[in-house]
A and B are shown apart, each in its own frame.
Chain A
Amino acid sequence: MPTSIEITPEMMREIIMDHYQNPRHKQKPTEDGYVSLHASSSNCIDDFEVYLLAKDGKVVDARWDGVACTISTASTDILCDRVIGKTYKEAEYIIEQYLDMISEKPYDSSVLDEAIVFLNTGKQAARIHCATMGWTALKDLLEKEEK
C-alpha cells in the first residue's frame, strides 16, 4: 500500500462504517453565508447537497445533507474533515490527490489521512462516482468562490 501510515483493511472498514453510521458533517446549515451545490447520480441513488462556508480564502465550514450510500456518505464526510480550516489552495490540492488516487494515478498520500480508505474503490468500477461526487461538487464550489 503506497502510504506511510500503517493501516490495515480492518481499520479501513471501520473508518468507512464509522463515518457512515455517525457522519460528523451531515447537516443542512441554518445559518447564512453558505453556498451549495447539488450532487446526484444517474446510476446510484445518491442525491445530496454539499455546503461550503468560506471566508478570506479559507474553508470555514463544509457540510452535506441528503440521501447517500455508504461509500458516498463516508467519502463526503471525510472530505469535510479534510478541508475545514484549509485555504482554497490547500483544499484543492487535497481533492486533487484524492481524485488521482481513485483514478489510480500517482498521488500524494501524505495529505489524505482517513480518505486513504477509498484506495480500492476501483475494484467496484460502478461505484467510483459514489466515492467522488461529493469531492467534485466541493471542488466546483471552491473554484466558483475563487473567481
Chain B
Amino acid sequence: MLDPYKIRKDFPMYRNQIKMQGKPLVWLDNASTTFKPDCVLNAVSDYYTHETSNSHRGDYDLCFNIDQKILETRQTIAKFINCRPEEVVFTSGTTGSINLVAFGYGVKFLKKGDEILLTQAEHASNVLPWYKVAEMTGATIKFIPLDKDGRLTPENLAATITDHTKIVAIAHVTNVLGYIAPVKELSKIVHQHGAVLVLDGAQSVPHVPTDVKDLDCDFLSFSGHKLCGPTGIGVLYGKFDLLSKTDPFMTGGGMNAKFDMCGDVAYLEPPLRFEAGTQNIEGILGLKAAVDYIMNIGLDNINAYEEELKRYAVEKLEETGNAIIYNPKSEAGIVTFNIKDVFAQDAASFLNSRGIACRSGQHCAKILIDYLKVVATVRASFYFYTTKEDIDALADAVKHGKEFLDAYFN
C-alpha cells in the first residue's frame, strides 16, 4: 500500500510547511492542479542550468541531447498510455489538445447535418470548442442524457447516437461528480456508427490506469499539471491514421518538410506536424519526470488509495450530519457537497480561513441545475499524497459550518 507520509517528503509544498491564513495548508483541490515533486522541479531547472538548447535546430551535442530527451518523453508517455511514440503530440494542455482535434479534425471533416454528441457533465473545454465546430460547419450538437445519478451509460449513448453522429466527445472521469465512464463499451457503440470517440482524460489519466488500445478511444487529451507535471504542457494522443488526416492548428517552424515561394508546402508527419514553433521544452522534460514518478508509484495503487480516501471522506462527512453529498457513489477521488444552509462560496471562504483549499462554484452549471437541483457546490478532490488527516480537517470544518462568518471575524 502506498504511504502518503513518505511520499510527501518528495514535495516541497509539504516540506516547506506552507500555511494559508496562518493554518497548515490542507490541499484538497487536486482536480484543479497538483503539487510537484523534486524530480519534476529538477528536470525543469536542469534544462536551464545544464542542458539549454533548442530542439531540431542544430548539429551540436547539446541540441542532440534535447532531441533525444524529447523522444524519450514521447516513449515514456507511449508506455504510460499504451500507444506508439509517434501518436503522442505535445500541446499546452487538455484545452489545447481538444481544440486541436476540434479545429484540425472536426472543422475539416464535419458538414451540415452531422452530429456531435456531448454530455451535460462535460467541462467547458470539452463543450465550447465543439460549439465553435458546429457554428463553422453547420453540424449540430446533441446531449446524451445522463441517468438519475448523473452517470453516462452505454444504453443512453446507444439511444442517442445515429448514423449522422461523427464525433462523440466525453470525459473519462467527470470533473464535478467523478464517475468513471465505461469507455470500452462506449467506444464499441461509437465505432459501430462510424463515429470518432474523443476522450477528455484530464481527470482520469492522473488517477486511473489508461490503456488507449484497450479503451479503443480515437483521441485522448490530458494535462501535465494535473499529474504532478509543470503547467503549460499536455498531450494529445490520436490513432496514427486519424492524426495523419488531421490538419495542423498552427503552422510555422518545426512542422514543415519544405515550402517555396510558389506556395507549395509539405508538412511533416505527425506528431511534429502539430508542434509548430519552439516547444515548451522545460515542460516536456518536467512532464517526463512526472510520468516516471507516477508510474513508479503505480496507477493501480493510486486508484485503490483514492477509492479508499473517497469512501473515508463520504463516511466522515456523513458523520458530521452537516453535509449534503451529491456523489457518494462515484468512483474517483472527488467529493462534491454543500454544508447545510451555507452558500457554496461562503463555505469555501470558511474552509480557506481554516487553511483548507477546496473549489466552490458551478463547475458545470447544467449538470448542477438538472441533476443536483442546486446552483453551486463545494468540491474536495484528492491525490496520492492526500492523508486521512486532511479529510478529518475538512470534516471538522464542515461540522462547524454554522460558524462560517468566523472567516471574517476571527
Assess whether B345 is in contact with A44, with CB atoms less than 8 Å apart.
Answer: yes
> B406 — nearest CB in chain A belongs to which residue?
A13
Assess whether B375 is in contact with A45, with CB atoms less than 8 Å apart.
Answer: yes
Q: Does A9 count as interface, using CB distance less than 8 angstroms?
A: yes
Q: Does B140 count as interface, using CB distance less than 8 angstroms?
A: no
Q: Give the complex CA separation of A123 and B405 in angstroms.
A: 11
Q: Give the complex CA separation of A101 and B352 in angstroms.
A: 22
Q: Does A133 count as interface, using CB distance less than 8 angstroms?
A: no
Q: Give the complex CA separation of A70 and B344 in angstroms.
A: 10
Q: Give the complex CA separation of A46 and B362 in angstroms.
A: 10
Assess whether B405 is in contact with A17, with CB atoms less than 8 Å apart.
Answer: yes
Assess whether A9 is in contact with B409, with CB atoms less than 8 Å apart.
Answer: yes
Q: Does A71 count as interface, using CB distance less than 8 angstroms?
A: yes
Q: Give the complex CA separation of A71 and B344 in angstroms.
A: 12
> A68 — nearest CB in chain B belongs to which residue?
B343
Q: Give the complex CA separation of A44 and B352 in angstroms.
A: 14
Assess whether A12 is in contact with B361, with CB atoms less than 8 Å apart.
Answer: no
Q: Give the complex CA separation of A35 and B345 in angstroms.
A: 28
A127 — which chain B residues lie within 8 A by C-beta?
A: 345, 349
Per-residue interface assignment for chain B, residues 352 to 363, with 1 indicating a CB less than 8 Å from any chain A CB and 0 otherwise: 110000001110
Q: Does B86 count as interface, using CB distance less than 8 angstroms?
A: no
Assess whether B405 is in contact with A13, with CB atoms less than 8 Å apart.
Answer: yes
A124 — which chain B residues lie within 8 A by C-beta?
A: 349, 352-353, 407-408
Q: Which residues of chain B (355-380) have a CB below 8 Å from chain A?
A: 360-362, 375-376
Assess whether A126 is in contact with B375, with CB atoms less than 8 Å apart.
Answer: no
Shortest beta-carbon distance from A44 to chain B in Å: 5
Q: Does B346 count as interface, using CB distance less than 8 angstroms?
A: yes
Q: Which residues of chain B (389-410) have a CB below 8 Å from chain A?
A: 404-405, 407-409
Assess whether B346 is in contact with A71, with CB atoms less than 8 Å apart.
Answer: yes
Shortest beta-carbon distance from B367 to chain A in Å: 15
A126 — which chain B residues lie within 8 A by C-beta?
A: 349, 352
B405 — which chain A residues lie within 8 A by C-beta?
A: 13, 16-17, 70
Assess whether B344 is in contact with A45, with CB atoms less than 8 Å apart.
Answer: yes
B376 — which chain A residues lie within 8 A by C-beta?
A: 45
> B405 — nearest CB in chain A belongs to which residue?
A13
Shortest beta-carbon distance from B374 to chain A in Å: 11
A13 — which chain B residues lie within 8 A by C-beta?
A: 405, 409
Q: Give the complex CA separation of A69 and B405 in angstroms.
A: 12
Q: Give the complex CA separation of A121 and B404 in angstroms.
A: 13
Query: If the complex has contacts A70-B346, A124-B408, are A45 and B353 also in contact, measured as CB distance less than 8 A?
Result: no
Per-residue interface assignment for chain A, residues 1 to 35, with 1 indicating a CB less than 8 Å from any chain B CB and 0 otherwise: 00000000100110011000000000000000000
Assess whether A45 is in contact with B345, with CB atoms less than 8 Å apart.
Answer: yes
Q: Give the complex CA separation of A139 and B383 in angstroms.
A: 45
Q: Does A130 count as interface, using CB distance less than 8 angstroms?
A: yes
Q: Give the complex CA separation of A124 and B344 in angstroms.
A: 15
> A74 — nearest CB in chain B belongs to which residue?
B405
Q: Does A103 count as interface, using CB distance less than 8 angstroms?
A: no
> A131 — nearest CB in chain B belongs to which residue?
B408
Shortest beta-carbon distance from B401 to chain A in Å: 12
Shortest beta-carbon distance from A93 to chain B in Å: 25
B344 — which chain A residues lie within 8 A by C-beta?
A: 45, 69
A–B Cβ pairs within 8 angstroms, 11 of them: A12-B409, A44-B345, A45-B361, A45-B362, A69-B346, A70-B405, A71-B346, A71-B349, A123-B408, A124-B408, A127-B349
Interface positions of B (Cβ within 8 A of A): 342-346, 349, 352-353, 360-362, 375-376, 404-405, 407-409
Given A45-B344, A46-B345, A71-B349, 15 other A-B contacts at CB below 8 A? A44-B361, A45-B343, A67-B375, A69-B343, A69-B344, A69-B345, A69-B346, A70-B346, A70-B405, A71-B346, A120-B409, A121-B408, A124-B408, A127-B349, A130-B345
